[in-house]
A and B are shown apart, each in its own frame.
Chain A
Amino acid sequence: MTTPLLDLHGISKTFGPVRVLDRVDLTALPGRVLALVGENGAGKSTLMKIVTGIYHPDEGGEIRFEGQPVRFTNPRQAMDAGIAIIHQELNLLPGLSVAENMFLGREPRGPFGLIDWRTMRERARALLHRLKQDHIDPAWPVGRLGVGAQQMVEIARALSLDAEVIIMDEPTDALTDVETQILFEAIRGLKADGKAIIYISHRLGEIFSQCDDVAVLRDGGMVHTGPVAELTEAQLIHHMVGRDITDQYPYVPAEAGPVRLAVTDLTAEGVAGVSFEARAGEVVGFAGLMGAGRTELARAIYGANRIWTGTVLLDGAPVRLKSPRDGVRAGIAYVTEDRKADGLIQPHSIRFNMALGSLGRLCRAGGVVDRDRERSAVAEYMRVFAVKAPDMDAAVQTLSGGNQQKVSLAKSLLAQPRVVILDEPTRGVDVGARREIYQLVNQLKAQGLCVLLMSSDMPELLGLSDRILVLSHGRVTGTFAHGEATQESIMERAVAVP
Chain B
Amino acid sequence: MTTATPQRTDERRTVPPKSQGNPALRFLAANKSLVGLILLMAIVSAVSPNFLTFDNQMNILRQTSINAIIACGMTFVILTAGIDLSVGSVLAFTGAVCASLVGGDTSLWIALPATLALGAALGAANGAVIALGGVQPFIATLVSMTVLRGATLVYTDGRPIGTIDGQGADAFWAIGGEYVFGVPVPVLISAVVFIVCWFVLSRVRFGRYVYAVGGNEQVTRLAGIDITAVKIAVYAVSGLLAALAGVILTARLESAQPTAGTAYELDAIAAVVLGGTSLMGGRGHIFGTLVGALIIGVLNNALNLMEVSSYYQMIAKGAVILLAVLVDSRGKSSS
Whether A associates with B in a native complex is yes
Contact surface of A with B, Cβ cutoff 8 Å: 302, 304, 323-325, 327-329, 334, 336, 341-349, 351-352, 355-357, 359-360, 363, 366-369, 371, 390-391, 393-395, 398, 411, 415
Name the CB-closest residue of A to B6: A393
Known: A347-B282, A393-B9. 11 other contacts (CB 8 A): A324-B221, A324-B223, A325-B226, A334-B222, A347-B215, A348-B9, A348-B215, A359-B205, A393-B10, A394-B9, A415-B224
B208 near A: Cβ within 8 Å?
yes
Q: What is the chain A residue whose CB lies nearest that of B18?
A: A391
Chain B residues within 8 Å of A, Cβ to Cβ: 7-11, 17-19, 203-206, 208-209, 211-212, 215-216, 218-226, 282-283
Q: Which residues of B lie under 8 Å from residue A327 when comparing CB positions?
A: 224
Bound-state CA distance A329–B224 (Å) is 8
A107 to B218: give the CA distance in the assembly, Å. Answer: 39
Q: Report how far A395 CA is from B17 CA in the complex, Å.
A: 9
Measured CB to CB, the closest approach of chain B to A103, in angstroms, equals 34
A369 and B224 contacting across the interface, CB-CB below 8 Å: no
Contacts of A343 in B (CB 8 A): 219, 222
- A-B pairs with beta carbons under 8 Å apart, 21 shown: A325-B224, A325-B225, A328-B224, A342-B216, A342-B222, A344-B219, A345-B282, A347-B283, A348-B11, A349-B17, A351-B10, A352-B11, A352-B208, A356-B225, A357-B224, A359-B205, A359-B209, A366-B204, A390-B17, A394-B7, A395-B7
Shortest Cβ distance from B299 into chain A, in angstroms? 31
Known: A347-B282, A348-B10, A394-B9. A411 touches B208 (CB 8 A): no
Contacts of A367 in B (CB 8 A): 204-206
Give A359 to B211 CA distance when docked, in angstroms: 14
Residues of B within 8 A of A302 (CB): 222
Question: CA of A359 to CA of B222 in the docked complex: distance in angstroms?
Answer: 14
Shortest distance from the beta carbon of A267 to any chain B beta carbon, whole Å:
22
Q: Which residues of A contact B216 (CB under 8 A)?
A: 341-342, 344-346
A406 to B224, CA, bound (A): 19
Provide the bound-state CA to CA distance between A344 and B7, in Å: 17
CA distance A354 to B206 in the complex (A): 16
| Set of chain A residues within 8 Å of B17, measured between Cβ atoms | 349, 390-391, 393-394
Chain B residues with CB under 8 Å of A347's CB are: 8-9, 215, 282-283
How long is the Cα–Cα vector from A395 to B221 in the complex, in angstroms?
A: 20
Q: Is the CB of A345 within 8 A of B205?
A: no
- Given the contacts A352-B10, A394-B9, A342 and B218 also touching, CB distance less than 8 Å: yes
Complex Cα–Cα for A355 and B208 (A): 10
Q: Which residue of B lies closest to A392 (CB)?
A: B17
What residues on A are CB-neighbors of B219 within 8 Å? 342-345, 356
* B301 to A: closest C-beta gap in Å: 36
- Tell me the smallest distance from the CB of A50 to a CB of chain B, in Å: 32
With both chains docked as a complex, state the minimum distance between the C-beta of A420 and any C-beta of chain B, in angstroms.
14
Q: Which residues of B contact A394 (CB under 8 A)?
A: 7, 9, 17
Chain B residues whose C-beta falls within 8 Å of the C-beta of A329 in the assembled complex: 224
Residues of B within 8 A of A368 (CB): 203-205
CB B204 to nearest CB in A, in angstroms, measures 5
How distant is the Cα of A484 from the Cα of B283 in the complex, in angstroms?
52
Q: Are A360 and B205 in contact, with the CB atoms below 8 A?
A: yes
Shortest C-beta distance, A403 to chain B (Å), equals 15
Q: Bound state CA distance, A393 and B283, in angstroms?
A: 15
CA distance A304 to B18 in the complex (A): 37
- Scoring B206, B212, B222, B225 by chain A CB atoms within 10 A of each residue's CB, the highest score goes to B222
The answer for the CA separation of A426 and B325 in the assembled complex, in Å, is 41
Shortest distance between the CB of B161 and any CB in chain A (Å): 38
Which residue of chain A has the shortest Cβ distance to B216 in the bound complex? A345
Do residues B224 and A359 form an inter-chain contact, with CB atoms below 8 A?
Answer: no
For residue A348, which residues in chain B have a CB less than 8 angstroms away from its CB? 9-11, 211-212, 215, 282
B85, chain A: closest CB distance, angstroms: 26
Which of B11, B19, B223, B282 is the one whose CB lies under 8 Å from A357?
B223
A356 touches B212 (CB 8 A): yes
* Cα-based distance from A395 to B7 in the complex (angstroms): 8
Contacts of B211 in A (CB 8 A): 348, 352
Establish whether residues A336 and B222, one from each chain, have CB atoms under 8 Å apart when the complex forms. Answer: yes
Minimum CB–CB distance for B200 against chain A, Å: 9
The listed residue (B18, B206, B223) touching A356 by CB distance below 8 A is: B223
Closest-CB distance, A32 to chain B (whole angstroms) = 44
Taking CB atoms, residues of chain A closer than 8 Å to B204 are 366-369
In the complex, chain A residues whose CB is within 8 Å of the CB of B18: 390-391, 393
The smallest C-beta distance from A42 to any residue of chain B, in angstroms, reads 30
* Highest count of chain A CB atoms <10 Å: which of B205, B206, B224: B224
* Residue of A with least CB distance to B202: A369
Give chain A residues whose Cβ lies under 8 Å from the Cβ of B212: 345, 348, 352, 356
Q: Please, how many angstroms separate the alpha-carbon atoms of A359 and B224 in the complex?
A: 11
Contacts of B11 in A (CB 8 A): 348, 352
Q: How far is the CA of A458 from the CA of B79 in the complex (A)?
A: 43
Cα-based distance from A391 to B10 in the complex (angstroms): 13
Report A-chain residues with C-beta under 8 Å of the C-beta of B9: 347-349, 393-395
What distance in Å separates the Cβ of A333 from its nearest Cβ neighbour in chain B?
9
In the complex, how many angstroms separate the beta carbon of A250 from the nearest chain B beta carbon? 29
Distance in angstroms between the alpha carbons of A368 and B200 in the assembled complex:
8
A324 engages B222 (CB within 8 Å): yes
Task: Say yes or no: A369 contacts B223, CB within 8 Å.
Answer: no
Cα distance, A453 to B154, chains bound together (Å): 62
Tell me, rounded to whole Å, the shortest Cβ–Cβ distance linking A328 to chain B: 3
- Residues on A with beta carbons closer than 8 Å to the beta carbon of B8: 347
Q: Which residues of B sit under 8 angstroms from A328, Cβ to Cβ?
A: 223-224
A390 vs B9: C-alpha distance when bound (angstroms):
13
Residues of B contacting A355 with CB < 8 Å?
Answer: 208
In the complex the two chains form, what is the Cα distance from A328 to B333 in whole Å?
37
C-alpha spacing A336/B222, complex, angstroms: 9
Nearest to B224 among chain A residues (CB) is: A328
Q: How far is the CA of A345 from the CA of B282 in the complex (A)?
A: 9
- Nearest Cβ in chain B — how far from A120, in angstroms? 35
Contact call A324/B224, Cβ cutoff below 8 A: yes
Complex Cα–Cα for A371 and B208 (A): 12
Q: Would you give the shortest CB distance from B240 to chain A, in whole angstroms?
A: 17
Cα distance A208–B274 in the bound complex, in angstroms: 64
Alpha-carbon distance A360/B205, docked complex (angstroms)? 8
- Cα distance, A304 to B221, chains bound together (Å): 9
Q: How far, in angstroms, from A344 to B282 measured CA to CA in the complex?
A: 13
- Minimum CB distance partner of B228 in chain A: A323
Distance between Cα atoms of A348 and B7 in the complex (Å) = 10
Residue numbers in B under 8 Å from A351 (CB-CB): 10
Cβ contacts under 8 Å, A304 to chain B: 221-222
- In the complex the two chains form, what is the Cα distance from A334 to B211 in whole Å? 21
CB distance from B171 to the nearest CB of A (A): 31
Question: B19 — which chain A residues lie within 8 A by C-beta?
Answer: 390
* A417 CA to B9 CA, complexed, in Å: 28
CA distance A254 to B149 in the complex (A): 67
Question: For A352, what are the chain B residues with a Cβ–Cβ distance below 8 Å?
Answer: 10-11, 208, 211-212
- A301 smallest CB distance to B (angstroms): 13
Inter-chain contact B205/A369, CB cutoff 8 Å: yes
